[in-house]
Amino acid sequence: MVDQKNNKSQPGQQKSPWNRFGYGWLYLLILALLIVPSLLTGFSSPKEISWQQFTRDILSRQAVEKIVVVNNEKAEVYIKKEFAKDTMFRDVFKPSFGYGIKRGPHYTFNIGSVELFEGKLKEAQKEFSINQEIDVTYTKRGNWFLSVLGWIITFIVMLALWRFLLRRSGGWGAGGSSVFNFGKSTATLVEKKKSAITFNDVAGLEEAELEVREIVDFLKNPETFTKLGAKIPKGIILVGPPGTGKTLLAKAVAGEAQVPFYSISGSEFVEMFVGVGASRVRDLFKQAKEKAPSIIFIDEIDAIGRSRGKGAFMNSANDERESTLNQLLTEMDGFGTNSGVIVLAATNRADMLDPALLRPGRFDRHIYLELPNMKEREAIFKVHLRPLIMDNTIDIAFLASQTPGFSGADIANICNESALIAARKKKGKIGKEDFLDAIDRIVAGLEKKSKIISPEEKKIIAYHEAGHAVVSWLLQHVDPLVKVSIIPRGKSLGAAWYLPEEKQLRSKSAFAEHLCATLGGRAAEEIIFGEVSSGALDDLEKVTREAYMMVMYYGFNKKIGNVSYYDSTGERNMGIQKPYSEETGEIIDEEVRKLVSDAYQQSLDLLKQNKANLQKVAELLLKKEVIFKEDLESILGIRIANPQNMGIATEPRSKTLEQV
């Protein structure tokens, strides 16, 4: 559907001067240069003879007109004209072309050395009593044929190199990255009616869809708006986590609006040469204006739109980015509001963008896309299940309930992965199990049943996972446990799966209990084996990060108070410039350590009180390898979870699993 490079004149298809006249003439010339001299020299070359032949047949008959010694190596013998009709010399007087007689040289022979030649010649003259003084001249002659050949070969090599470079860089002026086309925009143009994606392919983004649908209306019927005096927005920026459908939404706009759609990624403006980015922006807007009404879509705009003049170290790459951004700002101001070019942009990091870009008049509208909720996930599943062949065990609502925190892209991936899994099992239809396997695979990686684990290690892993399971079962604010496994997957040796509730806020106690549950694995190891292992690395990393977040970001710590060192702009380099004093830094470290050790102590206490249950869960795990919620219920009883569990969700708590 995409598919035409933007340059309206299609320079890639233009015939280059070489192509236009063909290479034929060039090849002919080369051939001529190679062949003609050899023809000429071949036909007119003198006859090679020996010294004896020379003295016996030529010198003795006094037929020599003159001798020319070339390069002190060869003697060329010219025969007197009056011998032209002599049967002996008739052949050598035959001309190469046309009529008349050949002027010579007629014979040639090697002389050995000049002294030798001169001595021998004198002796021979004496021997044959020739009184005539023979005219001997000496000359130096270069091999012009070889030098011409060398020149031709150099020329051919250079020509081949030139053609190779042209082809590597996209042809003679073709596309944006050609040697001659650095400054040209590399945007892909999706022509009218070519984009196959419509709003039917986008699910669960109702509000966002409504907003972008308006763009389609602006472009299709601008008068409806302008007659009331309204100005058509110039830019719309789509902001959201990866995979939430920003690009998809933009493609759907292209499909629905039926106007030319220029799609480019922010990074495509950036080239190693200064000024190229700005020139590409200019070119892109020029083309879009020529084809107005049209849409420009800039994906990952943060590549050029980052705040100017910030960052600790300025360098030339920064200058280039800034000049590209300045050009973008100018262009967005430049075209009149109603010129019919609408700019769509997408980014994961709106907080990093330059405020000038986001002000009204440029990107007027900001559309925030979030990770889909349960209902939205159901709708996205419906879109991606359309092409799949499934059996009747599939319950879409169940699938949506099992995938909290998953993005649209994750869901698309699950659907595809489940089809691959079913195909691998040689099934005719995809079943529920395949979907669950696909979810597990995406969450935790590929199952590695062949990994060799000793029975002792297996026991440690089982107790570690059982520790997570028991502690989280006993704490109210921790997400409900779905299953526990000691089958190695991806990098992990075992894992506990949780199903996070869909909530926007998390309370302080929810954070504290989460620390506790995460440390449950290590606590279990200490209680049962009296020693801890390296298997808790991942847990400790999570715990440390979360504890620092509690103290530094959320103001959960009394000593630090309601202060947050969170930097939503991402501009501060915490490693270099800390926003707090040395003393505060020490207090933070101390409080974090205290938080973690309190959580660990709580875990130890809980597990000591429930040691028998811990052992039962671990034994069951060792026996079955994977145990589910129901197995835990049979050992630990029905879990009472707190429905009022609240907290600030800082990162999607999706796909939560505690791994060894």
CB atoms within 10 A of CB 447: 15
Q: Which is nearer to ligand ATP, 340 or 408 (CB)?
A: 408
Q: Which is nearer to ligand ATP, 202 or 216 (CB)?
A: 202
190 is a site residue for ligand ATP (CB under 6 A): no
657 is a site residue for ligand ATP (CB under 6 A): no
Q: Which is nearer to ligand ATP, 202 or 304 (CB)?
A: 202
252 is a site residue for ligand ATP (CB under 6 A): no
Q: How far is the CB of 299 from ligand ATP (least distance, A)?
A: 6
Q: How far is the CB of 541 from ligand ATP (least distance, A)?
A: 25
Q: How far is the CB of 256 from ligand ATP (least distance, A)?
A: 15
Q: Output b/e per residue, 606-633; b: 16+ Cβ within 10 A.
A: bbeebeebbbbbbebbbeeeebebebbe
Give the bridge partners for 295, in sequence order.
Answer: 261, 342
Q: How far is the CB of 247 from ligand ATP (least distance, A)?
A: 3
Among 58, 63, 205, 301, binds ligand ATP (CB under 6 A): 205
Residue nearest to ligand ATP (CB): 408
Site for ligand ATP in 337-366 (CB under 6 A): 346, 348
> How large is the C-alpha radius of gyration of the chain?
43
> Count of alpha carbons within 13 Å of 318, Cβ hemisphere only?
9
Token readout for 354 is: 């330059």
Q: Which is nearer to ligand ATP, 377 or 459 (CB)?
A: 377
Token readout for 516 is: 């506790």
The Cα 208–Cα 639 span in angstroms is 39
Helix 316-334 and helix 276-290, axial crossing angle in degrees, nearest 10:
20
264 is a site residue for ligand ATP (CB under 6 A): no
Token readout for 362 is: 């440029």
Q: How far is the CB of 427 from ligand ATP (least distance, A)?
A: 24
Give the bridge partners for 188, in sequence order.
Answer: 5, 263
The Cα 647–Cα 292 span in angstroms is 48
98 is a site residue for ligand ATP (CB under 6 A): no
| Pairing, β 135-139 against β 64-70 | parallel
> Which of the residues are catalytic?
465
State the DSSP code for 578.
Answer: -
CB atoms within 10 A of CB 538: 17
Q: Which is nearer to ligand ATP, 387 or 455 (CB)?
A: 387
| Pairing, β 107-110 against β 47-48 | parallel
Name residues whose C-beta falls within 8 Å of residue 491's C-beta, 6 or more positions apart in sequence: 445, 659
The Cα 119–Cα 8 span in angstroms is 81
Q: Which stretch binds ligand ATP (CB under 6 A): 40-48, 123-131, 202-210, 284-292?
A: 202-210
Site for ligand ATP in 379-438 (CB under 6 A): 380, 383, 408-409, 412
Number of residues that bind ligand ATP (CB under 6 A): 19
What is residue 330's three-state secondary structure? helix
647 is a site residue for ligand ATP (CB under 6 A): no
242 is a site residue for ligand ATP (CB under 6 A): yes
CB atoms within 10 A of CB 284: 27
Q: Which is nearer to ligand ATP, 108 or 407 (CB)?
A: 407
Element (H, E) at 235: strand 235-239
Q: How far is the CB of 370 from ligand ATP (least distance, A)?
A: 11
Q: How far is the CB of 579 from ligand ATP (least distance, A)?
A: 29
Q: Which is nearer to ligand ATP, 407 or 602 (CB)?
A: 407
Q: Which stretch binds ligand ATP (CB under 6 A): 99-107, 240-248, 477-485, 519-527?
A: 240-248
Closest CA relative to residue 176, chosen from 13, 348, 11, 315: 11
Q: Which stretch binds ligand ATP (CB under 6 A): 168-176, 203-211, 318-326, 536-544?
A: 203-211
Among 203, 328, 422, 524, binds ligand ATP (CB under 6 A): 203
Binding residues for ligand ATP, per CB under 6 A? 202-205, 240, 242-248, 346, 348, 380, 383, 408-409, 412
